[in-house]
């Protein structure tokens, strides 16, 4: 099993442009070429309930993955009692070369031998026609996600 930490930070001001932030998960020991794993992103609520997501029994500080799983655990994004994250969402995973995008947690994917990226976007995001001015209701966008990850080959 391999483990690591991840973090991302981003800000788009009120009525600013759309925002995408990618966090790299780089495997110190590459997987075998063509290795398929089930990818799971655990949000704050799932991370707070250990064992609630099959294959992922760890935590942000002690990540763990059963064989055949990549588990990404979300740590607390709170600043005191108020969350600093606003108007953004987890989108999915992507290989470092931009291929094999997985847009929902739990899909089987070839993560790439050396790692994968975790993608977050502003809730008002359009990949075809980029939003240059977010609506007042969907901005500002603030992201500060942190956590741990683990991957275990089959």
Q: 2, 149 in Cβ contact below 8 A? A: no
Return the closest-CA partner of residue 85 out of 123, 117, 119, 46.
123
Tens-binned pLDDT, residue by residue, of the chain (154 aa): 999 999 999 999 999 999 999 998 988 887 887 778 888 999 988 998 888 999 999 999 999 999 999 999 998 766 655 678 899 999 888 876 666 666 556 676 666 678 888 999 999 999 999 999 999 999 999 998 899 999 998 8
Return the closest-CA partner of residue 121 out of 2, 17, 3.
17
Residues forming beta bridges with residue 104, ordered by sequence position: none
Phi-psi region of 132 (alpha: psi -120 to 50; beta: other; left: phi over 0): alpha
Query: What's the predicted TM-score (pTM) here?
Result: 0.88
Which pair of structure tokens corresponds to residue 151? 């991957």
> Any idea where the domains of the chain sit in the sequence?
2-152
């Amino acid at each position: 099993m391999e483990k690591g930490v991840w973090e991302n930070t981003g800000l788009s001001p009120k009525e600013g442009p759309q925002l995408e932030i990618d966090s790299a998960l780089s495997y110190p020991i590459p997987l075998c070429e063509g290795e398929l794993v089930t990818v799971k992103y655990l949000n704050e609520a799932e991370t707070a309930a250990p064992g609630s997501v099959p294959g992922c029994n760890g935590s942000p500080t002690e990540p763990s993955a059963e064989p055949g799983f990549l588990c990404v655990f979300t740590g607390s994004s709170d600043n005191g009692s108020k969350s600093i994250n606003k108007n953004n969402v987890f989108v999915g995973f992507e290989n470092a070369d931009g291929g094999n995008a997985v847009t929902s947690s739990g899909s089987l994917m070839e993560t790439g031998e050396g790692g994968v990226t975790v993608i977050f976007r502003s809730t008002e995001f359009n990949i075809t026609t980029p939003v240059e001015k977010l609506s007042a209701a969907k901005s500002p966008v603030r992201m500060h996600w942190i956590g741990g990850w683990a991957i275990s080959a089959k």
